[in-house]
Amino acid sequence: MYYKLPVSKYRSIKQLLHSYLIKTLSIDTYKAENVGIEDKKIPLHKDRDENRVLYTSSVSLQLSKSQNWKTMQLASAIASDLSRICGDVFSIQIVPPGWIHFELTDTALATWLQSLVVGSLGEDGEEGSREQGAGGKEVIFNSPPCPLPPAPLPFVPNPQSPIPNSLFAVQHAHARCCSLVLLAHREGLIKLREPVPNISPAFWNVISPKPLPWLNCDGTLRLNHPDERHLIAELIQVVDNIECPDINGSVKWEKVALNLSQAFENFWCNCRIWGEVKIRSPELTQARLGLLMATQSVLRYVLEKNLGVFAPLEL
């Protein structure tokens, strides 16, 4: 199955869904009395189920009184409008008494993972990533943002600044990701344009395979081991925190970084890349290498931008 993936910047999945909801609720059907949504704050929460990427919104419960509609009727109307603009990105379901569930499709998840590998985390751009989905619609990972805090200042390493011992595990995970990707390049599993990473936003410049083989021939994601799914879930949550932080509380970035590095360690221990897997399933090997590169991208951003410490290429 042929599918197209982006080659530039991205946004978080929550941010993408948020923009779809804003677009839908701005149409005339809802706009006249849409007084329940202030400052574009739409209730939207990620489910803990790691076997799928699921978000839930209670927006119909919030708006039903102001719209003078029954809650389930309003939820169905909103879901119908959303399906027309993002039905190939999210599978949408209505659950009593009026919850709207959004499950990311495997094709869209593959698009997002690829954007982590080749994109620029945390940077704005006017054009964004636009790719055709299964139904011919565009999957855009550079959409209008949720309310964001001021951008952090660029990280400048200071060799005199002590590094907290608790963050060594995170730095070790980052360095391990870098060394494993470079080893894969030397062994011909993937081909990089620049074998030694530079300091540009697009850290890895992958020549082949391009795109990485995230999907099986039937369009389902190759990465289905519990530790693969857990690492993907952590990446999604961290990027959501970066792009759409919770305005009601501050993110504990040290804990977030440690959780992500532990998810990587579990993945590395239980999901083989070399040996028999490389011989029998080279596409799975390459997809797992892609997950390594995506993890490195997020770890680097959190270390440098949120924690103010150096992200080493090797230890």
Which residues 6+ apart lie within 8 Å of 29 measured at CB?
Answer: 77, 81
Structure tokens at 313: 């290429």
Could you tell me the CA-to-CA distances from 137 to 82, 87, 104, 132, 202 in Å, in that order? 13, 9, 15, 5, 26
Q: Which of 3-17, 18-32, 119-133 has the highest mean pLDDT?
A: 18-32
For residue 88, the 8-state DSSP code is T
Q: Are 119 and 5 in contact (CB under 8 A)?
A: no
> What per-residue confidence (pLDDT) applies to 314?
85
Mean pLDDT, residues 147-175:
61
The fourth-level CATH superfamily of domain 1-145 is Arginyl tRNA synthetase N-terminal domain (3.30.1360.70)
pLDDT at 20 exceeding the cut of 70 = yes
> What per-residue confidence (pLDDT) applies to 43?
86
Q: Higher confidence at residue 185 or residue 136?
A: 185
Mean pLDDT in the chain? 80
Within the chain, all domains assigned CATH 1.10.730.10 are found at 164-306
Prior bond of 149 cis (ω within 30°): no
pLDDT at 244 exceeding the cut of 60 = yes
> What per-residue confidence (pLDDT) applies to 190?
92
Q: Phi and psi of 139, rounded to 5°?
A: -100, 115
> What per-residue confidence (pLDDT) applies to 57?
94
State which amino acid sits at residue 235. Answer: L
d(CA 46, CA 49): 9
| Residues across the chain | 315
Q: Higher confidence at residue 60 or residue 171?
A: 171
Q: What is the pLDDT of residues 111-147, one digit of tens each?
A: 999 989 987 665 543 334 444 444 444 555 543 343 3
Q: What is the pLDDT of residues 263-301, one digit of tens each?
A: 999 999 999 999 999 999 999 999 999 999 999 999 999
Orientation angle between helical segments 226-243 and 106-118, nearest 10 degrees: 70
> What per-residue confidence (pLDDT) applies to 212?
95
CATH code, residues 164-306: 1.10.730.10
Q: Higher confidence at residue 130 or residue 171?
A: 171
pLDDT band at 33 (very low <50, low <70, confident <90, very high): low
Mean pLDDT, residues 21-35:
68
d(CA 219, CA 4): 12
DSSP-assigned letters across all residues of 198-220: -SSSS---EEESSS---B-TTS-
Q: Higher confidence at residue 39 or residue 235?
A: 235
Within the chain, all domains assigned CATH 3.30.1360.70 are found at 1-145
Strands (E), 48-157: 54-57, 90-95, 99-104, 130-132, 138-140
> What per-residue confidence (pLDDT) applies to 102?
97
pLDDT band at 160 (very low <50, low <70, confident <90, very high): very low
pLDDT band at 156 (very low <50, low <70, confident <90, very high): very low
Q: Higher confidence at residue 127 or residue 43?
A: 43
d(CA 195, CA 257): 26
The rounded radius of gyration (Å) of the Cα atoms in the chain is 20
Q: Does the predicted TM-score (pTM) go above 0.85?
A: no
